[in-house]
Amino acid sequence: MRIRYLLPMLIVLSFCSVFIGVKDISPLDLFRLTEAQAQVLAISRIPRLISLIIAGVSMSIIGLIMQQLSRNKFVSPTTAGTEDSARLGILVAMLLFASASPIVKMLVAFVFALAGTLIFMKILDKVKYKDAIFIPLVGLMFGSIVGSLTTFFAYKYDLIQSMNAWLHGDFSMVMKGRYELLYISIPLVIVAYLFADRFTVAGMGEEFSVNLGLNYKQVVNIGLVLVALVTSVVILTVGMIPFLGLIIPNIVTMFQGDHLRKSLFSTALLGAVFVMFCDVLGRILIYPFEIPIGLTVGVIGSGIFLYLLLRRKAHEQHEG
């Protein structure tokens, strides 16, 4: 995965993202912007661009961390129940703290996302059948149970429409004053980079890590806190973006191997490029209307996920 190809792609897609929309603004208009055009750029287009990049980078990196810690290429916030647990946390926050600030809702979602991820990791320890495909299926089942609980209580308390806002990722409502929570992801990504080597060692197993003098449980807990925090922030701001943390790390590691620090920057770039591409595609397919990014990422991501599964199966048969 060559970075020199990803950077130009990100620049081109960022350019397209800024100038594609119902309000017609061309690159030439930058030299003679009207007040209305300047407001559209400042309030909507540029915040959307920033949120796309941050969400793509952060969700891809936490997917890479989860795969490293669980030692399974098909584990991610989507297939480990993390996203569904965060959504349940948002529902609880809406029920108990109806007038709470976004920070309070994020903290409640974080607690539930962390608890859900820890439960999944405990299930992972108990499962004797460690097949790479079986484990994420267990995670999907766990996520479905949590999601069913969320839907049940949302129906009971007449909050189903509000909860549906977090069912599919959507950047169309992102604007100045409603996306700044995403900035919390930036220091978390920096922490992920600083701990990259430790995550790599922890991914080799507890016994191996302890022999090297690594505090295995502490490193794993730091990784899970990062995963839960980023997932909560992204879901609360733009909604669920399925498969992103699953497919991007897999594509990068196919080219660059499993060393987390070496593949971190490429994972971040590819995540931003992929999210940007899906967003631009959703905006032009049925223009002037828009397909939510959760749908475009879900369709393309599920196709890539199936390809990865089939590729792995073919590889195992070839080795056998």
**pTM value?**
0.86
In a domain, 77, yes or no: yes
Count CB neighbours of 161 within 10 A.
8
Span 158-168, mean pLDDT? 72
Residue that the structure tokens 């916030």 belong to:
77
Taking CA atoms, 190 is separated from 115, 183, 233, 238, in Å, by 23, 12, 16, 21
Average pLDDT over the chain, rounded to an integer: 83
Q: How far apart are CA 212 and CA 71, in angstroms?
A: 18
For the chain, the straight-line distance linking the first and the last C-alpha, in angstroms and rounded, comes to 28
In a domain, 38, yes or no: no
Pair 83, 235: CB distance under 8 Å: yes
In a domain, 211, yes or no: yes
CA angle centred on 226, ends 94 and 71, rounded to 5°: 120
Compute the residue count for the chain: 320
CATH number of the domain within which 106 lies: 1.10.3470.10
Q: How far apart are CA 3 and CA 244, in angstroms?
A: 19
In a domain, 218, yes or no: yes
* Amino acid at the residue 101: S
Span 286-294, mean pLDDT? 84
In a domain, 33, yes or no: no
* Amino acid at the residue 264: L
Residues 3-50 have pLDDT tens digits of 678 888 989 998 888 888 777 777 776 778 788 878 888 888 888 899
Torsions phi, psi for 17 (to 5 deg): -60, -40
Classify 212 as helix, strand or coil: coil
CA 273 to chain centre: 13
* Number of domains into which the chain is organized: 1
Q: How far apart are CA 9 and CA 1, in angstroms?
A: 13
Pair 59, 230: CB distance under 8 Å: yes
Pair 89, 108: CB distance under 8 Å: yes
Q: Domain containing 242: what range?
A: 47-319
Count CB neighbours of 61 within 10 A.
29
Token couple for 27: 């690159």
Span 227-237, mean pLDDT? 87
Pair 125, 205: CB distance under 8 Å: no
Token couple for 5: 């190809």
In a domain, 1, yes or no: no
In a domain, 51, yes or no: yes
In a domain, 34, yes or no: no
Q: How far apart are CA 184 and CA 106, in angstroms?
A: 11
Using 50, 70 and 90 to split pLDDT, how confident is the model at 272?
very high
Span 112-116, mean pLDDT? 91
